[in-house]
Structure 1
Amino acid sequence: MPPCDKPIALEFFAGGGLARLGLSGQFNVAWANDLDAMKCRAWRENFGAQGLVEGDVADIQVNDLPPRPALAWASFPCQDLSLAGDRAGLSGGRSGTLFAFMARLAELRDRGDPPELVVLENVKGLLSSHGGRDLAAIFRALGELGYAAGCLEMDAAWFLPQSRPRIFIIAVRQGLAIPAALLSSPDLYSPDRPCLFQTPAILKAQAALPDALNWFVPAPSKPSASFDDILDPKDTSWWDADKLAIFHQQLNDKHRGRLEALLATPGRHIGTMYRRIRREGGEKQQRAEIRFDGKVGCLRTPAGGSSRQFWVVVEGDTLNIRPINPREAMRLMGVPDSYHLPKGTLAGLKIAGDGVAVPVVAWLSEKLLAPLLACARP
């Protein structure tokens, strides 16, 4: 279907356009907004300038939004909600911008043009932020705007070799007759259509939200991509002997034993490494922690000593280590190599670390959003 024939989606907090890539199979992302100048440059370079508004979501005018939007997507800033952050919640300056987005939804409603679907995406910390009060506030705000909503927890690890659990709040206009095929049992362990993405954390959070919808999205097949598909063979920035010596010093006994076992095992083994600050013996120690389970840890924005991840390649008795580069980070997000990276290592890593995994969005779009819209626009 040509883009102009697809239902219109609005992409708030668009970043580098990763949600757009996932939505494009079912929707025409005709309008987008972000405040970050670097991300907007990347968005324009990949998708053109038409439809992108650079600036604060609070300054968006409703007349700037295209008519008859079917979907409003908002991957709103997670810095104040993340389990790795200070947990300021929705009172924090960045995640508090969510309610500026809600104000735009109210203006669309008052214009007589509310989108049939709304999706909010954020980190898992949203479920427990301020003891669940932030999540309840979001559901209450959506209800006041005329929407019924439910949550899913979807991990990129079902699609890609990256552990990246994210919370998706999917909201529909109240009164929509939702087919039973799109709803699951509220009991994860019931034989009556349990949903993989209705995790125990989701069930616990929604137990405090009596009107929450229990969405059903089928499980995908296991991811086909492996680290061999991700590694860039042209990147030769492997560590020298001095850096490797420091790495060995930063291993604790558990991780040193794991590495020594791999060095004694024939074949090629690819893993990853994070640097962590651990308290040992009453003192803080920087530790190198390795994993060889076929997944990288959740990609983060390049800020702080533990935010960068490194490849650890063991082949015979040879050890090689180097940082994950921006192209590899994008591959770990499901972004095709045709995507033009911004200049500078940190810029590319920031887009990946702040982004949403493309195949997760595509799966949600195909299996839930498009069928819901078909009911709303028969």
Structure 2
Amino acid sequence: MMAEDSPRAWRAAEFFAGIGLARLGMSKAGIDVVWSNDIAPTKHAMFERNFGTSEDHTFLVEDLGKLSREQLPENTDIAWASFPCTDLSVAGGRAGLHRGIASSTFWHFIKALSKLGSARPPVIALENVTAFATSHSGQDIASAIRSLNGLGYSVDVLSIDARRFVPQSRPRLFLIGTSAPVATMTEPSPLRPDWLVPIFDDPALVTHKMHVPEPPPLLTDGLVAYLETLSEDDPRWWSTERVDAFVGSLSDLQSERFNTLRDGKTGTARTAYRRMRQGTPRWELRSDGIAGCLRTSSGGSSKQAVVFLGQGDVRIRWMTPREYASLMGAPEYPIDGVKEHHAYSGFGDAVCAPVVEWLSVNYLVPLLASMEIDVIPDEARQLEFVAS
């Protein structure tokens, strides 16, 4: 146990690091990320632009499944893993955790923890889309939790929407695992949504529930403050013909919403996605003043448009990379010179930094501190498990 005048320096490893927004959030909570891994060189390049290089941090650009035991981090307190959501999200094919090519990399994480043996960290945090909870009728998340149980971790499940911190609708699921019992875990978390409960055949799969404070309320407005101001002659504004095509694609309900906002006495902004409705592509405006969930740049329907309306005027353009950065809680992230599609992909694949910070301050750090105060030998941690 550390002396009170010598605060504990928590150390974390960031698996599937991407551009490092989990590191950004944890660092604001006093957690040092000392090791990172991702397979994408373009994301590593963005990561290095923001964080630079240092002797006390290692970044391995490599397939996690190919890393040897010697390449994996030791002496860490937390392993954070935002593994790919491609095969779990509604927008993807929903191939699942076992059959999907991207999301099955979760098992590489499990195998990495297994290779570490008794040197694996006492706390893990996994992040993914909320559809993870219902993928294959709940079988995928139950399988994931059983694999973590097999490594000696008890697991808690909770959901947090980035909309509590920034004007972006981005609900995400978090699995928090710990390798030792914690005395403070006596009350169910107020974040635990009721719809998660029925998916577990075995209630014992989720074996600890830590009480955390209520997060900030959900935002319903505020997008305008996160948008860039472009000059009237900026080439990124859509042409009259393109705006007319946008308006022409709106449904009756959407047209009514559009006309009301356009004819309003004050200016406002809404985001819009293009969706297929009965085989026809249609644009749809959000009803509130927040952004839809940011996505990667692949496919035109994945990109989000920003529509400025009011006093009879209409202007439309694509959301900019800088706006992506701001809505992910990283407004100062250096992206000058970064190709647009790399920036869109980097931020669209990431976890929202303020959510990580809040979770770290209110859950992960108190969890680690309580484990250090009340250390209980955990024979289960010595178990070895390799997912097939």
TM-score after normalising by structure 1: 0.90
Matched length: 357
Q: Letter of the 1:353 partner, please give it.
A: G
Distance 1:262 1:340 in 2: 33
Q: Aligned equivalents of 1:87 and 1:41: distance in 2?
A: 30
Q: Which residue of 2 aligns with 1:55?
A: 62
1:74 paired to 2:81: yes
- Within the alignment, does 1:98 sit opposite 2:98 as a pair? no
Contact 1:151-1:215 within 8 A present in 2 as well: no
> For each residue in 1:50-84, what CA deviation from the matched residue of structure 2 results, as whole angstroms up to 9, or x when unmatched?
41000100112222234311000100011011111
- Letter in structure 2 aligned against 1:106: S
Does 1:228 pair with 2:235? no
Change (3 A) 1:254 1:229: same
Instruction: Please give the secondary structure, in 2, of the residue aligned with 1:210.
Output: helix
Letter paired with 2:325: M
Alignment of 1:256-335 (within 5 A): 256-279=255-278, 284-335=279-330
Q: Within 5 Å, which residues of 2 pair with 1:1-378?
A: 6-24=9-27, 25-49=29-53, 50-91=57-98, 92-109=100-117, 112-173=118-179, 175-180=180-185, 183-185=186-188, 195=190, 197-206=191-200, 208-212=202-206, 213-222=208-217, 226-234=222-230, 236=234, 237-279=236-278, 284-340=279-335, 343-378=338-373
How far residue 207 of structure 1 moved from its aligned partner, in angstroms, is 6.6
Distance in 2 (CA, whole Å) between partners of 1:12 and 1:18 is 12
Unaligned 5+ runs, structure 2? 1-6, 374-388
Q: Residue type matched to 1:291 in 2?
A: R
Note if contact 2:223-2:269 (Cα within 8 Å) is conserved in structure 1.
yes
* C-alpha deviation, 1:376, in angstroms: 1.7
The AA in structure 2 aligned to 1:31 is: W
Name the aligned partner's letter for residue 224 of structure 2: D
Contact 2:237 2:317 in 1 (8 A): yes
Q: In structure 1, how many angstroms separate the alpha carbons of the residues matched to 2:124 and 2:336? A: 29
Helix, strand or coil: the match of 1:214? coil
Cα distance in 1 for partners of 2:337, 2:209 equals 39
Q: Percent identity?
A: 36
* Kept after mapping to 1: 8 A contact 2:325/2:333: no
Query: Residue 378 of structure 2 aligns with which residue?
Result: none
For 2:335 and 2:268, the matched residues in 1 are separated by: 30
Q: Over the residues paired in the alignment, what is the CA RMSD in angstroms?
A: 1.9
Partner Cα separation in structure 2 for residue 162 and residue 208 of structure 1: 34
CA shift digits 1:232-262 (9 cap, x unpaired) = 1146321121111111111111100111112
SS in 2 for 1:377: helix
Give the whole-Å Cα distance in 2 for the aligned partners of 1:17 and 1:231. Answer: 23
- Code of the residue aligned with 2:203 in structure 1: it is L
- For 1:188, the equivalent position in structure 2 comes to none
**Structure 1 segments of 4+ aligned residues over 6 angstroms from their partners:** none
Residues 227 and 177 of structure 1, relative CA distance in 2, 3 Å threshold: closer
Q: Secondary structure at the match of 2:204?
A: coil
Distance in 2, matches of 1:341 and 1:153, equals 33
Where 1:8 maps in the other structure, the secondary structure is strand
Alpha-carbon separation, structure 2, partners of 1:82 and 1:21: 24
SS in 2 for 1:163: coil
Matches of 2:26 and 2:201, distance apart in 1: 30
CA distance 1:218–1:321, change in 2 (3 Å): same
The alignment partner of 1:86 has SS state of coil
Greater mean deviation of Cα atoms: 291-300 or 72-81: 291-300
Q: Distance in 2 between matches of 1:166 and 1:342?
A: 30
Higher relative contact order (CA 8 A, sep 6+): 2
Is the 2:138–2:200 Cα contact (8 Å) retained in structure 1?
no
Q: Counterpart of 1:119 in 2: which secondary structure?
A: strand
Compared with structure 1, are the counterparts of its residues 209 and 26 closer, same or farther at alpha carbon in structure 2 (3 Å cutoff)?
farther
